[in-house]
């Protein structure tokens, strides 16, 4: 005689292998995307805000930019690049954003409000207002093999390589290249 009623644990449970496979594939894909995002944000890209008017009109105060942290691991900054650095490697300072004027081995001097690199007037500065204070660059500056001379695009309102508290920027203090503006939204785009 067979008993009627509840039968706990008597039936064999069926495992749905295709569903488990699908869930495992989804979990692996999510883990891969998270790993790529972590590597991208931590090693390649960093977001920061511009402080002050020294890069006006190219960049204005409080605009948000993305920094390519990877590019200068494989190459050196070139004249015209907009770089982000810590002055003298000071970890407690905000990031400085300036344009490279001269690189390793170059001789930089400011004469009569104009920038000269290796004895030739820098073409990019022809449209720039005359520099009122040459600072350290009143005398010719020879850049060492790991140094860069930087200026703001608004040099009369810029704390840059002309001043002793910034000086020549060593490559090891460069965070990366400013390459993309993310805000304000009407100005989103790559930087030149």
Active site residues: 54, 98
Residue 158 half-sphere exposure toward CB, CA atoms < 13 A: 29
Cα–Cα separations (whole angstroms), residue 39 to 32, 68, 69: 11, 13, 11
Of residues 153, 103, 102, 104, the one with CA closest to residue 125: 153
* Other residues' Cβ atoms within 10 Å of the Cβ of residue 43: 11
41 by DSSP, 3-state: which? Answer: helix
Q: Which helix (H) or strand (E) holds 35?
A: helix 17-39
What gap in Å lies between CA 162 and CA 155, rounded to an integer? 10
Residues forming beta bridges with residue 151, ordered by sequence position: 99
CB 85 within 8 Å of CB 100: no
């Amino acid at each position: 005689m067979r008993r009627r009623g509840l039968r706990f644990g008597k039936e064999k449970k069926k495992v749905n292998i295709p569903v488990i496979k699908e869930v495992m594939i989804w979990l692996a894909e999510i883990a891969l995307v998270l790993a790529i995002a972590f590597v991208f944000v931590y090693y390649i890209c960093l977001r920061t805000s511009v402080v002050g008017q020294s890069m006006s009109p190219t960049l204005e105060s409080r605009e948000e930019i993305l920094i390519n942290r990877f590019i200068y691991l494989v190459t050196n900054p070139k004249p015209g690049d907009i770089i982000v650095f810590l002055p003298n490697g000071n970890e407690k300072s905000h990031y400085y954003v300036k344009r490279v004027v001269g690189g390793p081995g170059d001789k930089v001097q400011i004469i009569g409000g104009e920038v000269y690199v290796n004895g030739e007037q820098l073409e990019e500065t022809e449209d720039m207002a005359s520099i009122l204070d040459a600072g350290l660059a009143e005398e010719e500056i020879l850049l060492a093999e790991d140094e860069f001379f930087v200026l703001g695009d608004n040099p009369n309102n810029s704390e840059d390589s002309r001043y002793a508290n910034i000086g020549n920027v060593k490559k090891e203090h460069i965070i990366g290249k400013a390459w993309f503006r993310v805000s304000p939204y009407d100005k989103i785009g790559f930087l030149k």
